């Protein structure tokens, strides 16, 4: 769920933090996710 919310944030959608016991992704995760989303949008 945390990566789904991170993807929504990258696409400009307002989302809140994940609820416990989940945690937000590490700082490196959104960068990797952005690269995956960019690759998907070019195919």
pLDDT of residue 10: 86
Name the residue range of residue 25's domain: 2-41
pLDDT at res. 37: 85
Q: How many domains are there within the chain?
A: 1
Q: Model pTM?
A: 0.70
- Non-local (6+) Cβ contacts of 18 within 8 A are 1, 2, 5, 24
DSSP per-residue letters across 8-35:
HHHTT----PPPTT--PPPTHHHHHHHH
Q: What is the pLDDT of residue 43?
A: 54
Tokens of 1: 């769920």
Show the tokens assigned to 3: 């990566």
Pick from 11, 7, 12: which is nearest to 29 by CA? Answer: 7
Q: Encode pLDDT of 7-40 as tens digits.
A: 899 889 999 989 999 998 888 888 898 898 888 7
């Amino acid at each position: 769920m945390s990566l789904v919310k991170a993807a929504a944030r990258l696409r400009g959608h307002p989302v809140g933090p994940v609820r416990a016991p989940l945690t937000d992704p590490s700082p490196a995760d959104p960068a990797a996710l952005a690269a995956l989303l960019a690759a998907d949008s070019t195919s």
